[in-house]
Structures are given as C-alpha cells and as structure tokens.
C-alpha cells in the first residue's frame, strides 16, 4: 500500500505550497500540488483606470518584481494600439535582464543550493584543497586558502552556538548529499558572497524605476526622462553606473554562478534521469530588439515543444479562444456557468473564490474534489511546463545558434546526453545557462540605448493615447513576457475607460496547478512521479525536484486566509520567503 506523506510548507520558495506524495516501494507513485493561500488581485483592479493597473498587479510578487508591471503595460498598450519608443523598450529589457540575474542567482544559492550542499559537512573541508578547486574552475579573485579558512570559522561559530540561523533545519548528513567537503565549503562561501552581491544588481531598478522592489512603469514608455547633462533624470553619470552594475553582475555570473553550477551538477548527474515532467514546453518569447510587435526580433523565441520532440516547434496564439484556457474543476473557485469540465479563455475568465476544502486542522487534502487555490491552465487541452528549460528548448528547436551552442557546451562539459535536459538537473542547469545569455544581452541592450541617445533620440514615452477620451468605447488586449519562472500573460478588457475584466495566467500557475478535468497532472505533480525517496521522514528528493521549478505561489494565486493554519507533518527547511 502506498504511504501518503505531506510536505507543508515547502520552504525556500515564495508563498505557501503543500505537496502530498504517495510513496510505494521507495518511489513516488502519485503526487498532489496545492496552494493554500489566496489573493484577490484580479478582482481588485476591476473598474480601475487601465493606466494604473500595472502598479496594483506588480504587487502580486516581490520576487519577480517588475514582470507583472511590464506585462500589464504591454496588455494596455496592445488594447489601445500604443507603440513605445525604442529607448523605453531597451530600458524595459535592461530592467528585466537585471531581474533575471538577481532572481536566478538568488534562487541558485539561497533557495536551491541547500538541497545539494551540506553546510555542516563543509566544516570537514581542507581549505587549501577548496582553494585549489576554486582556482581550477574560475579566475574569481576570492579563492585563497585563508579566505576559505575564514569562511569555515564563521560556519563553525554558527554550529557551536547551536543557532544555525539561516542554515537551521537543513537535511545535513542526508545520505543523498554527495558533494565532497571541499566543494561544500566552496558553495557556502559563495552563498554568503551572493547575499552581498544581490543587493547591488537591483540598483539598476532604482536608477531606471525609482526603487526595488516594484519600480515604476508607464503605459506608453518608461517613467525615466533622459537628461544627458542635468542633475535630474537619467544623466550620463547614472547611465555609467548602470553599465558598471551590469558588468559586475555579469562577472559574478561568469566566474562564480556558472562554475559552481557545473561543479555541483557533475556530482549529481543521476538527477538527469529524475523529475522528467509533462514533456510539453511553452515559451511566449521576450526581449524584443525591434519593437514588441516584431516577434522575430525577440532574443527568447516563442513556441511550444510537444512530447520532448525538438524537431517541431508549434506557435502560440494568445488571442485564439481554442488555445489557452483555464479550468477550475479541481480548484477552490465557483464553476463556470458552462459546467465543471469546461475551461475559459482568459478574456472571459472569472475569479470567484469558493473554498470547499477540509477545515484545518486536517490530515489530507480532498483530492477527489478541489484541492488548490491555483487554477489549471492548458494549451489546446495539454499541460505545459514553462520556465528556463522551456525557453532554451524552444530556442534550440527553433534553430537559435546562440542557445544551441550554450546548451551543447553545458551538455558536453557535464558529459551527459541531450535527454538529461528533460529532468530536475536540466531545469537547474537551464536556469544558469540562460542567466549567462541574458547577462550578455543586457549589455547589448545598454549599448543600443546609449547609441540611440548619442544619435539624438531622447524619447522615452509615447503619450499619443494618454487621453482616455481618445480611446474606443471598448477594447481588449493581451500582454506577455518571459518572467524568470516562465511564460506570463495578462488579458485585459477595457470598457468606458475602465478595466472591465483582468486575468493573469502566470508561470507558477502553469507548473503548480492541480489536475485538469481529464485528470491530467500539471508539471510539478508529473515531475515527482518515479522519484526515489530514500527516507520518507526526510523527503529531500521531493524538494530537489520542486525547487528546480523555482516555485512562486504568490504569483500563482494572486489575502492570506487567516484561518489557514498549516499542519507540518514533515519539517522542512528554514524559510527565505520574501
């Protein structure tokens, strides 16, 4: 008989996620993903001025900050037929690029690494050997034996005090931790360095958008006027500071994140065959270089891969009522008028919360009925995985040489077959590979911006449609982007100058949703099937695969239920919720 275990809350993620997994003969045979919190942002923006919506929806999440604002202004611009000036497009790209660097590096070191790195074991390391390893894989300057010895003393103090602080409650000593002590020490050092580093790269947002998180956006452009010689606005000194931050960000990614990722991955190649998932991958594409209307100019391409077949890439149409639909059959929402088994295109979507789950405290979710506050999106009825791996696979399938070279380089470095991409290891590697690509592109975007300014174009906003009396009586639009966790789109309907309906289908909604009306699992649930669990009381393997998706439940469910106490049957690791 299968044994049902509960991991609640899954920590080192954003938001509140519960996983129930059935284990038989040491392997997961079934799994259920549930978001136990609910937010009402789609409802809050109804009736508001569409030009203000970005500021509300951006608060969906403080982790993938900016992307909901970006997607919202794009949706409104689409509805009203507004094209933004090239400078605004580049500033948007640079801000999004800085987000990728920040978000992915923080995920790697502070959310995911401790699934693979044994902090306590780092105390057994010989700092001299760690130094040799560090110098053999990177030219990063902080690599002397003395440096690693000092780091070891800091960790020793933590351990001796009995207060591990941010390192409390980890699976230290778990039999599936495979790194030599010296590599553990290297990773701990870089965990601490990354904490320092991450506060620098986000200054790019402060310079262009006033602050981080939640920098300012603007329908029609960006809210940062160029003023080359003045003290106010975007002047030469501030632009040079952006360039410095981007170069330093790239250096950390090239010399610390990527070498660490490859070094750690080389000890966990077996994870190239675990966590396969649904096998369908979707990317909306992003980082336009010639206007958002010109999909062919995007750095990340749009497309869909089905059944892991990279030889054919299908197109995505956000406007077609036959493609993207959301189902609520297994979610705590009122059924649509058409019935339990019907989905709705987001322009016709509804958010009517109806909690029918068990009253806390409860042992298990009622999986026969509704079991999550996440809706279930589908493309042509199929479950999709979205995220870094989906982006790279779509680019690979579309013949993008730059992406193919990067992916092939990592595969040959690790000496693993292409099939290893479709896995927990593949997801984690893809995130690092794309961070490096995006760091390079962001410097290109910066050069394009500077050249444009030098050529005399200082436009940052298009205010032609700023006056609502110029708008049609009714309009609808869709905005999309590739958020760090994957394909993100917002659908808006505007009527009488107000927001009539607003629906957001976000990356973690695609990946973390409950089953659809046909009983098909979504990406998290499917990826857990077949995963070996060495000790059901210490389900490290579950969090390895779930963390490989970098969950964000705040985004996925878009008010916290004050009655929603959790039952923690399996104690997880210290939370780094933001």
The residues that are catalytic are 14, 61, 64, 68, 485, 508, 552, 555
The minimum distance between CB 106 and ligand NFE, in angstroms, equals 11
Residues 62-81 touching ligand NFE, rule: CB under 6 A, are 63-64, 67
Q: Which is nearer to ligand NFE, 63 or 253 (CB)?
A: 63
Is residue 484 a contact point for ligand NFE (CB under 6 A)?
A: yes
End-to-end CA distance of the chain: 39
3-class secondary-structure state, position 344: strand
Interface region with ligand NFE, contact rule CB under 6 A, candidates 106-114, 119-127, 128-136, 484-492: 484-492
Q: Which residues pair with 85 in a beta bridge?
A: none
Q: Which is nearer to Mg ion, 41 or 245 (CB)?
A: 41
User: Of these partners, Mg ion, ligand NFE, none, which one is at the site of residue 67 (CB under 5 to 8 Å by kind)?
Assistant: ligand NFE
Interface region with ligand NFE, contact rule CB under 6 A, candidates 307-315, 325-333, 448-456, 504-512: 504-512
Is residue 17 a contact point for Mg ion (CB under 5 A)?
A: no
Residues 376-405 touching ligand NFE, rule: CB under 6 A, are none
Is residue 296 packed enough to be buried (19+ CB in 10 Å), middle (13-18) or exposed (0-12)? exposed
Among 504, 512, 533, 573, binds Mg ion (CB under 5 A): 504
The minimum distance between CB 71 and Mg ion, in angstroms, equals 12
The minimum distance between CB 14 and ligand NFE, in angstroms, equals 5
Is residue 488 a contact point for ligand NFE (CB under 6 A)?
A: yes
Distance (Å, whole) CA 109 – CA 118: 13
Is residue 485 a contact point for ligand NFE (CB under 6 A)?
A: yes
32 neighbors 525 (Cβ within 8 angstroms): yes
- Of 556, 295, 232, 265, the C-alpha closest to 427 is 265
Among 13, 45, 61, 573, binds ligand NFE (CB under 6 A): 61
Query: Rounded to whole angstroms, what are the CA distances from 447 to 239, 361, 485, 501?
Result: 11, 56, 27, 39
What are the φ and ψ backbone dihedral angles of 221, each rounded to 5 degrees? 170, -140
Interface region with Mg ion, contact rule CB under 5 A, candidates 12-20, 139-147, 223-231, 499-507: 499-507
The minimum distance between CB 56 and Mg ion, in angstroms, equals 14
Distance (Å, whole) CA 92 – CA 76: 16
**Tokens (6 digits) for 476:** 């609808």
Q: How many residues at the interface with ligand NFE, by CB under 6 A?
A: 15
User: Of these partners, Mg ion, ligand NFE, none, which one is at the site of residue 99 (CB under 5 to 8 Å by kind)?
Assistant: none
**Tokens (6 digits) for 560:** 């916290």
Q: Which is nearer to Mg ion, 167 or 491 (CB)?
A: 491
541 neighbors 177 (Cβ within 8 angstroms): no
Query: Residue 252: which residues within 8 A CB-CB, separation 6 or more?
Result: 105, 193, 194, 197
Interface region with Mg ion, contact rule CB under 5 A, candidates 242-250, 487-495, 501-509, 530-538: 501-509
Q: Which is nearer to Mg ion, 288 or 477 (CB)?
A: 477
Residues 513-572 touching ligand NFE, rule: CB under 6 A, are 552, 554-555
Is residue 483 a contact point for ligand NFE (CB under 6 A)?
A: yes
Binding mask 432-471 for ligand NFE (x = CB under 6 A): ----------------------------------------
Specify the DSSP class assigned to residue 107: I
Is residue 95 a contact point for ligand NFE (CB under 6 A)?
A: no
Distance (Å, whole) CA 178 – CA 164: 21
**Pair type for strands 281-283 and 303-305:** antiparallel
Q: Which is nearer to ligand NFE, 258 or 552 (CB)?
A: 552
Q: Which is nearer to ligand NFE, 118 or 434 (CB)?
A: 434
Q: How many residues at the interface with Mg ion, by CB under 5 A?
A: 1
Number of H helices, E strands in the chain: 17, 10
Residues 7-46 touching ligand NFE, rule: CB under 6 A, are 14
Interface region with Mg ion, contact rule CB under 5 A, candidates 111-119, 417-425, 464-472, 497-505: 497-505
Is residue 97 a contact point for ligand NFE (CB under 6 A)?
A: no
Q: What is the CA radius of gyration of the chain?
A: 23
Distance (Å, whole) CA 353 – CA 333: 4
Strand-by-strand arrangement of the 17-24 sheet: 3-7, 17-24, 27-35
Q: Which is nearer to ligand NFE, 63 or 80 (CB)?
A: 63
Q: Which is nearer to ligand NFE, 176 or 521 (CB)?
A: 521
Distance (Å, whole) CA 411 – CA 566: 41
Interface region with ligand NFE, contact rule CB under 6 A, candidates 181-189, 224-232, 324-332, 482-490: 482-490
**Tokens (6 digits) for 516:** 């659809």
Q: Which is nearer to Mg ion, 38 or 201 (CB)?
A: 38
The minimum distance between CB 66 and ligand NFE, in angstroms, equals 10
Query: Residue 15: which residues within 8 A CB-CB, separation 6 or more?
Result: 35, 37, 508, 551, 552, 553, 554, 555, 556, 557, 577
Question: Beta strands of 163-262 (E only): which ranges?
Answer: none
Is residue 349 a contact point for ligand NFE (CB under 6 A)?
A: no
Query: Residue 368: which residues within 8 A CB-CB, separation 6 or more?
Result: none
Q: Which is nearer to Mg ion, 252 or 333 (CB)?
A: 333
The minimum distance between CB 477 and Mg ion, in angstroms, equals 16
Residues 131-160 touching ligand NFE, rule: CB under 6 A, are none
What is the dihedral sign for C-alpha 180, 183, 189, 190? negative
CA 48, 41, 292: angle at the middle one, nearest 5?
75
- Of 177, 65, 61, the C-alpha closest to 114 is 177
Query: Residue 372: which residues within 8 A CB-CB, separation 6 or more?
Result: 33, 34, 35, 36, 330, 331, 332, 512, 513, 514
Give the binding site for ligand NFE (CB under 6 A).
14, 61, 63-64, 67, 483-485, 488, 506-508, 552, 554-555
Q: What residues make contact with Mg ion under the rule CB under 5 A?
A: 504
């Amino acid at each position: 008989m299968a044994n049902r275990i509960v991991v609640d809350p899954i920590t080192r993620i954003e938001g509140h996620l519960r996983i129930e997994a059935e284990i038989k003969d040491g392997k997961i045979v079934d799994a259920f993903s549930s978001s136990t919190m609910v937010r009402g942002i789609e409802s809050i923006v109804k009736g508001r001025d569409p030009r203000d919506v970005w500021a509300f929806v951006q608060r969906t999440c403080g982790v993938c900050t900016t992307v909901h604002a970006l997607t919202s202004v794009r949706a409104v611009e689409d509805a009203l037929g507004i094209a933004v000036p090239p400078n605004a497009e580049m500033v948007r790209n640079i801000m999004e690029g800085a987000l990728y660097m920040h978000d992915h590096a923080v995920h790697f070191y502070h959310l995911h690494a401790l699934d693979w790195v044994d902090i306590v074991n780092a105390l057994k390391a010989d700092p001299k050997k760690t130094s040799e390893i560090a110098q053999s894989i990177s030219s990063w300057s902080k690599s002397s034996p003395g440096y690693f010895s000092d780091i070891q003393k800091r960790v020793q103090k933590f351990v001796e005090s009995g207060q591990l602080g941010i390192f409390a409650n980890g699976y230290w000593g778990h039999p599936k931790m495979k790194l030599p002590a010296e590599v553990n020490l290297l990773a701990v050092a870089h965990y601490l360095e990354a904490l320092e580093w991450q506060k620098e790269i986000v200054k790019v947002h402060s310079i262009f958008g006033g602050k981080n998180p939640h920098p300012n956006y603007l329908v029609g452009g960006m809210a940062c006027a160029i003023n080359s010689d003045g003290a106010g606005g975007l002047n030469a000194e501030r632009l040079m500071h952006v360039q410095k931050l981007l170069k330093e960000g790239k250096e950390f990614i090239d010399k610390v994140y990527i070498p660490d990722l490859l070094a750690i991955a080389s000890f966990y190649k077996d994870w190239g065959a675990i966590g396969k998932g649904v096998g369908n991958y979707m990317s909306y594409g992003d980082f336009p270089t010639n206007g958002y209307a010109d999909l062919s100019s995007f750095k990340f391409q749009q497309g869909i891969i089905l059944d892991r077949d990279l030889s054919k890439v299908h197109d995505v149409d956000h406007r077609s009522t036959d493609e993207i639909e959301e189902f609520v059959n297994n979610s705590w929402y009122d059924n649509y008028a058409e019935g339990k088994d019907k989905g709705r295109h987001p322009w016709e979507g509804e958010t009517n919360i109806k909690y029918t789950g068990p009253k806390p405290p409860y042992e298990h979710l009622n999986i026969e009925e509704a079991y999550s506050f996440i809706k279930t999106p589908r493309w042509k009825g199929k479950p999709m995985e979205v995220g870094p791996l989906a982006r790279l696979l779509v680019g690979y399938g579309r013949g993008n040489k730059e992406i193919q070279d990067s992916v092939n380089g990592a595969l040959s470095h690790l000496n693993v077959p292409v099939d290893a991409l479709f896995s927990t290891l593949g997801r984690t590697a893809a995130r690092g590979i794309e961070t490096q690509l995006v760091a390079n592109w962001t410097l290109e975007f910066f050069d394009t911006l500077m050249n444009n300014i030098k050529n005399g174009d200082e436009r940052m906003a298009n205010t032609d449609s700023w006056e609502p009396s110029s708008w049609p009586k009714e309009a609808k639009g869709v905005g999309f982007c590739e958020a760090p966790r994957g394909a993100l789109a917002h659908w808006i309907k505007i009527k009488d100058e107000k927001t009539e309906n607003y629906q957001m289908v976000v990356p973690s909604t695609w990946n973390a949703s409950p089953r659809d009306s046909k009983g098909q699992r979504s990406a998290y649930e499917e990826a857990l099937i077949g995963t070996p669990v060495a000790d059901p009381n210490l389900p490290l393997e579950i969090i390895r695969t779930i963390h490989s998706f970098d969950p964000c439940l705040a985004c996925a469910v878009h008010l916290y239920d004050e009655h929603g106490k959790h039952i923690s049957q399996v104690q997880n690791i210290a939370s780094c919720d933001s």
